[in-house]
Every structure is written in structure tokens, then in C-alpha cells.
Amino acid sequence: MKTLYCSLLAVFFSLPVFAAHNPDRVLKVNQPPVHRALTPPSRASTLSQPPNQSNGVFADAGCSICTGGEQSVADDFIVSTGGAGFDLKQILFWGGYYSTDTPPATDDFDVLIHSDNSGVPGTVICSETGITTAPRTATGQSLFGVSEYIITIDLASTCTLADGTYWIEIYNDTGSVDDDFFWEVGDLDGTNGIAGSLNATETPGITWTAGPPDAELAMQLNGDVVPVELLSFSIE
């Protein structure tokens, strides 16, 4: 049985259009960041935010640590391909299981890609739920006294995104195991990232709250720039 307690920030940030809520993070304050570089993927990326081991935000439908018993998080990003568009096929993200470093036998992730609705997640464009086969690999790094994992989700269906701004929402469901899943924060992608992230006390998120401005979520969004279709002409 999980023990119920809350980890709250000493200082919280909110925007007037959002409900007031302190995001449940692993630590009340950030640890000094450890800046790392990601290995370039074999395909294109539209977002690359390496983990920095400074903090984490709980993203779990069965989160006993979280206020209300669940929490989802979302981060916004930009697709900019000069009009070609981007086929999102793979999501890498970093996280861990707090507080006893005991992952569930099987994860249960939901992934939702939203349009942008004036600075908050809007309509769901693509989604995959109940993902139980995503490989998780210990990186050998430790943070907050637990192991850091990289989780790889190869989408069953390509998510085709035109140029614009989008939100990605991911949460796990650890159920009744002792530990809760947190999504590690990372360094902002200076090209396609947008500062800040949001959290909600529902899964999936409905009422979004602004998190701390430094809470960039560690992830890499990989796929392919949509190929330009060449037209052939013949002269008679």
C-alpha cells in the first residue's frame, strides 16, 4: 500500500487563465543541473531536450504522492519544416520511479498530441493509450536516490504534424505498486522548444496549470520530415 504525502514547491507559478495548483515534483527545489548531450538519432527530430537530473514532475494516473491521487503533464513544441510537415514516429523520454526505485512489472503509458489552444493543450490530434510494451532501459545515472530510465515508444501509427505549435502529454499508470512515475526535467531545446510546461490533476489533463518556468520535460521526438512530392512533366 502506498503512503500518501505531498511534495510541494516552496514557490509556485500560475497564470490567470489556469487553475491554481502546485505541481507535484520530486523535490521542493531543483538540484544543480548536469548538462548532457543526446546521441543524434538515425532520423530527424522535431524536439531534443536532454535530461539534466535537476528535478522531475510526477506523471501518473495512480500517483499516491500527488495531490488528488493523479497528475498529468504536458510540454509544448514547434514543428518548423518550411511547410513540408513532420511525421512523428518515435518518442524517447526520461524518468524514474520514486521513492524506493521499484518499477512496476509493466508500464502503462498514454500519449496524447494536442493542438495548441492559445497557450494550453487543445484538440487531441493523435493518441495511443495502454502502451505496455515500451522498452525502459536504466541509463546508469542516479537521481533523487533512484535510477534514471530512458523509455522508448515507437508509435503504432505515424502522427503527421503540419508546421505549427503542439503539446505532448504523457502519463503512466503504476496502479498499486509502491512507487510513482516521474518525468525528468531537462534542458530547453533552443530551436523547437518553448519555455515552461503545464500540469493537471486529472489523467488525461483537463484543467491545466502553469508549472515552474524551468520545468522543461526531457524527451526527444523523432521521425521524418514529410518528403516533397516531385511532379513530372512531359513535353509533347
Domains with residue ranges and CATH for the chain: 48-225 (2.60.120)
Which band of pLDDT confidence, cut at 50, 70 and 90, is reported for residue 228? low
pLDDT of residue 20: 39
Which band of pLDDT confidence, cut at 50, 70 and 90, is reported for residue 36? confident
- The position carrying cell 535537476 is 54
pTM for the whole structure: 0.85
Which band of pLDDT confidence, cut at 50, 70 and 90, is reported for residue 5? very low
Bigger pLDDT: 67 vs 92: 92
Is the pLDDT score of 13 beyond 80? no
Which band of pLDDT confidence, cut at 50, 70 and 90, is reported for residue 87? very high
Is the pLDDT score of 202 beyond 90? yes
Looking at every residue in the chain, the average pLDDT score rounds to 86
pLDDT of residue 49: 97
pLDDT of residue 232: 47
Give the count of beta carbons closer than 10 Å to the beta carbon of residue 156: 9
Residues 46-64, mean pLDDT to the nearest whole number? 95
Dist. CA 91–CA 68, nearest whole Å: 28
Highest averaged pLDDT of the listed ranges 32-36, 57-61, 226-230: 57-61
pLDDT digits (tens, 9 = 90+) for 210-220: 877 778 999 99
Residues 169-194, mean pLDDT to the nearest whole number? 94
